């Protein structure tokens, strides 16, 4: 197996030498080369943050899943590490699928899904999935210990374990499909190696709620408990559920040994084009943080022509407001990447477009809704995207443009109540992340400007718009 890891690392180095960086992110986690999808094994241990991720090191397409690895001491600057896990044993020969990491008395411990195709590769009707364990003494090199949990009779799809410690024991939530419907199954253990089924935390009652619940996560936030998961198979409903697959949460109450009492129905976590498989972890100071995959299944990915594909979102802080909404905001540590601030005076535009700057990567601005009557007004990022208020639909719209039709289109959220709309926007080489009114809504989308230009402009169409004072920054690279 060490040979498999060495071969995978060599493959990444070879691809890295050929990688083109037109779209390669400056301040988002991405593989040095090859493919990335779900974030895995997010953990703070022994003074270091670890981010693992689903990785195919041999080319830019999805393939047999490895675990890529990066570390940070400050959540702002990162270093790539050797690949942590490679498939090849009889229980994971076709992939080391998603999972998590925990601190087991100072030992970095990974729990992941071993995946095997029982018939031909890609035939989801014939698979075997088991939960496996691996440990590391140095935080870099891992020893596999094999399966620790198999699915019950009648369940094949059984993956993406998320483990935490509570009440002197370990708990695990796993995504599953039973009788054609998605569910989140709960298990408990004393030692991470012997697991007992506790109960089904929650599950789909009809196909409208998803045929598979991937990447579950279960954690306290404020006075509530959050069940975070990525259901597959939800039908689009107006402005909602527009992506191939969704990610969102249920809110409720739970105590060990009891049922999960859901008090708020499923809510999407991010309204953009590219957000999937979010996973949370606990910061050194106890904050609940989150990364997600900043792409979407079956979406065109122009970076593949450059030798790589996929990235993770910025790290985000989760909080719960008084209304019971989960808020997401950029991790405060990201301020360490800022250069000198660039300030722009308030502007009143009528049927105009005004260039702010060519090099802004973080921008904060407020729009005076009460003083604006334009049909559409907001900001444009080169010719690749626009973020604007649609005064007729009363929505905030993120629209992207491309020569590739599959990368065109809109995502939107209702305008929050009040006369002021506050926006915090991050613009990387191929992505746009928008945080609305201190995190009450978020929109995350990949963008691919064909001319490389990402200059930020203000605009107002068919009327007048009032922009309050704006501030922006260039951001340093995260790669230490």
- Domain coordinates in residue numbering, the chain: 1-330, 335-475
**CATH topology agreement for domains 1-330 and 335-475:** no
pLDDT computed for residue 324 by the predictor: 86
* CATH architecture classification, 1-330: 5 Propeller (2.115)
Say how far apart CA 378 and CA 134 lie, in whole Å: 49
pLDDT computed for residue 452 by the predictor: 79
pLDDT computed for residue 2 by the predictor: 82
**Is there a catalytic annotation at residue 38?**
yes
3-state secondary structure of 72: strand
pTM score of the predicted model: 0.97
- Give the dihedral sign, CA 56/58/60/64: negative
Query: Is CATH 2.60.120.560 correct for 335-475?
Result: yes
Q: Which one from 9, 38, 92, 368 is the annotated catalytic residue?
A: 38
Q: Buried (b) or exposed (e) across 7-42, using 16+ Cβ within 10 A? A: ebbebbeebbeebeeebbbbbbbbbbbbbbbbbbbb
Are 435 and 421 a contacting pair, CB within 8 Å? no
On average, the pLDDT of the chain sits at 96
Say how far apart CA 163 and CA 188 lie, in whole Å: 9
**pLDDT less than 50: residues of the chain:** none
Say how far apart CA 182 and CA 157 lie, in whole Å: 9
Say how far apart CA 310 and CA 392 lie, in whole Å: 35
**pLDDT tens column, 103-152:** 999 999 999 999 999 988 888 889 999 999 999 999 999 999 999 999 99
């Amino acid at each position: 197996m060490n040979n498999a890891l060495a071969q995978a690392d060599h493959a990444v180095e070879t691809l890295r030498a050929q990688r083109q960086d037109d779209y390669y992110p400056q301040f988002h986690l991405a593989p040095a080369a090859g493919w990335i999808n779900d974030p895995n094994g997010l953990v703070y241990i022994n003074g270091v943050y670890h981010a693992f991720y689903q990785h195919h090191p041999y080319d830019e397409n999805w393939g047999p899943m490895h675990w890529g690895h990066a570390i940070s001491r400050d959540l702002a600057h990162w270093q790539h590490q050797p690949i942590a896990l490679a498939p090849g044993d009889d229980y994971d020969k076709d992939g080391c699928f998603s999972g998590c990491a925990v601190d087991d008395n100072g030992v970095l411990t990974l729990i992941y899904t071993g995946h095997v195709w029982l018939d031909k590769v890609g035939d989801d009707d014939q698979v075997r999935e088991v939960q496996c364990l691996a440990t590391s003494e140095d935080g870099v090199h891992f020893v596999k210990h094999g399966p620790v949990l198999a699915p019950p009779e009648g369940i094949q799809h059984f993956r993406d374990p998320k483990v935490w410690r509570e009440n002197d024991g370990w708990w695990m939530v796993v995504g599953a499909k039973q009788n054609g419907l998605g569910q989140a199954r709960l298990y408990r253990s004393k030692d991470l190696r012997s697991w007992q089924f506790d109960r089904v935390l929650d599950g789909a009652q009809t196909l409208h709620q998803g045929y598979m619940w991937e990447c579950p996560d279960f954690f306290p936030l404020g006075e509530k408990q959050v069940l975070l998961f990525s259901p597959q198979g939800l039908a689009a409903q107006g402005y909602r559920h527009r992506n191939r697959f969704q990610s969102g949460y249920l809110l409720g109450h739970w105590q060990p040994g009891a049922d999960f009492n859901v008090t708020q129905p499923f809510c999407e976590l991010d309204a953009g084009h590219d957000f999937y498989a979010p996973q949370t972890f606990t910061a050194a100071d106890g904050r609940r943080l989150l990364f997600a995959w900043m792409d979407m299944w079956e979406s065109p990915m122009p970076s593949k022509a450059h030798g790589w594909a996929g990235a993770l979102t910025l790290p985000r802080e989760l909080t719960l407001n008084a209304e019971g909404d989960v808020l997401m905001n950029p991790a405060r540590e990201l301020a360490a990447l800022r250069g000198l601030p660039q300030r722009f005076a308030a502007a009143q535009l009528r049927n105009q477009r005004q260039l702010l700057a060519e090099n802004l990567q973080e921008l904060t601005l407020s729009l005076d809704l009460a003083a604006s009557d334009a049909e559409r007004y907001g900001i444009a990022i080169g010719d690749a995207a626009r973020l604007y208020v649609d005064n007729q639909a009363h929505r905030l719209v993120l629209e992207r443009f491309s020569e590739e039709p599959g990368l065109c289109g809109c995502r939107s959220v209702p305008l929050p109540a009040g006369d002021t709309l506050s926006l915090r926007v991050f613009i990387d080489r191929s992505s746009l992340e928008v945080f609305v009114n201190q995190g009450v809504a978020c929109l995350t989308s990949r963008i691919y400007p064909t001319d490389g230009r990402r200059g930020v402009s203000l605009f107002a169409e068919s009327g007048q718009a009032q922009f309050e004072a704006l501030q922006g920054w260039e951001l340093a690279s995260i790669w230490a």
